[in-house]
Structure formats: C-alpha cells, structure tokens
C-alpha cells in the first residue's frame, strides 16, 4: 500500500464522532445495531478488538472509468468535509462470486453500458461528495465501503439515486448491502 492511498477503519460501537441515525440491511445479513461509529484513518492497528464491528478499507485506483468520464468526474466532484454537508451515509457492499469471476470488460459493460452507474451518479454531482474504499483484497466481509456526504437539500435526490442504482443489472450481483445513516456528534 503506497502513500497516496488512504486507509480507514470504521469502528461500530458506543464511541466515535458519528452518531448512528439508522441502520438498514438491504440485501443479506445486517450489522449489529450500534450507537456510534468511529472513523479511524491511517495504518490499521492490530490491538485488542474494539466495538461491535470493524470494517477496514483502502482507497484505490479506478478500475472502470474512461478518460472522458474521469475528466467529467473530476470537474464535477466536490471534496469531503464541506460544512454544509451534514448528511452522511456509509454503505458497505459485497458482490457475488459470479461478479468476480467475470472478465474486466464484462464487468465494465454491466457497470456502465447496462447499468449507467456513472451516468446516474453524475446527476447528483457536485451536491453529493463521495469516497470509495476497497475491502475485498483485505479479506474483509464486504468488498467495498462507500461513503457519501451532502446537504439536507440534496437528500431526496440522493434517495432517488439509491432507488435507481438498486434497480440496475449491476445490483443483481450485490449479495450484501447495509445502509448506515450518520450525523456528526460535534460541529467540524
Ligand atoms: C454520488 C454519485 C456517484 C458517482 C458519481 C459514482 C461513481 C462511481 C464510479 C466512477 C465508480 C467506479 C470507480 C472505478 O473505476 O473503480 C463507482 C464505483 C462504485 N460505486 Fe458509485 N457512484 C455514485 C454513487 C454510488 C452509490 C449511491 C453507491 C451505493 C449505493 C455506489 C456504489 C459503488 C460501488 C459499490 C462501486 C464499486 C463497484 C465495483 O468496483 O464493482 N456508488 N462509482
């Protein structure tokens, strides 16, 4: 893991800067309901187990975007941590072995040509800021940890994006998905 990659551990339990407003299992097994989530950035620690669950992830390089899509995403994306972006959602996702057995070109075709993931997602930019962490290669229970931040006014557009994505062919390969809505315990 090189230095431009960000490592994170989400610790679900009784402490942390994020208050859990809701937790919902959309597909497959949920996660134990907790009061708080601590977001621990930096090297993974191997100390005593804390919290009811811990989810680790690392940012990585893009796998599916074309040059044109990359440029449009960069032009329209906002950064994390905007003060007005008080709504936060953490969605851990695991995909089926059938997905992982596909070839790269087949996954790209399902992801964008059939499911329009980027095209749908771009509609909610720059209102929604996002970060994708990879977990599968770490031997974690989820393959991805997705993180979103937006202002209350963008809440309905975000819900609509969720409904659209969950109707796609890509989502037929999702075997576990948990939606965790969070709010900051203290102002930034
Ligand atoms: C907010 C607008 C969104 C945009 C612009 C967006 C864009 C993208 C892009 C460009 C990728 C591909 C990264 C790569 O090439 O490796 C990606 C991957 C992914 N996104 Fe989104 N996305 C959005 C919303 C969402 C939402 C709401 C979810 C979850 C419900 C989600 C779940 C994922 C997952 C799980 C992946 C990894 C897919 C895989 O590698 O198989 N995205 N997204």
51 three-state secondary structure: coil
Q: Are 15 and 7 in contact (CB under 8 A)?
A: no
**How far away, in angstroms, is 33 Cα from ligand 1 center?**
25
The phi and psi torsions of 104 (rounded to 5 degrees) equal -55, -45
Structure confidence by residue, pLDDT tens digits, 111-160? 999 999 999 999 999 999 999 999 999 999 999 999 999 999 999 999 99
Q: How confident is the model at residue 188 (pLDDT cuts 50, 70, 90)?
A: low
Out of 117, 133, 163, give the residue to mutate to test ligand 1, the one with the largest number of ligand atoms within 8 Å of its CB: 117
Total Cβ atoms within 10 A of residue 38: 18
d(CA 121, CA 126): 10
Q: How confident is the model at residue 49 (pLDDT cuts 50, 70, 90)?
A: confident
Residue with tokens 């991805």: 144
Asked if the peptide bond before residue 108 counts as cis, ω within 30 degrees of 0, the response is no
Q: Give the CA dihedral 5, 85, 11, 60, nearest 10 degrees.
A: -20
d(CA 92, CA 78): 21
Ligand 1 pocket by C-beta < 6 Å: which residues? 62-65, 73, 91, 93, 95, 117-118, 121-122, 124-125, 128, 130, 132, 144, 146, 161-162, 165
Q: Are 10 and 145 in contact (CB under 8 A)?
A: yes
**pTM of the entire predicted model:** 0.96
């Amino acid at each position: 893991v090189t230095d431009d990659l960000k490592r994170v551990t989400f610790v679900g339990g009784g402490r942390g800067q994020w208050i859990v407003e809701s937790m919902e299992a959309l597909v497959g097994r949920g996660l134990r309901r907790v009061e708080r989530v601590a977001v621990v950035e930096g090297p993974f620690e191997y100390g005593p187990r804390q919290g009811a669950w811990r989810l680790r992830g690392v940012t990585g390089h893009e796998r599916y975007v074309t040059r044109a899509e990359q440029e449009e995403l960069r032009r329209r994306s906002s950064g994390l941590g905007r003060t007005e972006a008080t709504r936060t959602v953490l969605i851990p996702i695991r995909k089926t072995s059938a997905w992982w057995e596909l070839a790269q070109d087949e996954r790209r075709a399902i992801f964008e040509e059939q499911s329009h993931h980027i095209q749908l997602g771009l509609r909610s930019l720059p209102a929604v800021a996002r970060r994708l962490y990879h977990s599968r290669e770490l031997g974690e229970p989820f393959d991805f940890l997705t993180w979103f931040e937006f202002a209350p006014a963008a809440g309905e557009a975000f819900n609509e994006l969720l409904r659209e994505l969950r109707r796609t062919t890509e989502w037929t390969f999702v075997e576990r998905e948990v939606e965790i809505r969070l709010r900051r315990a203290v102002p930034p």
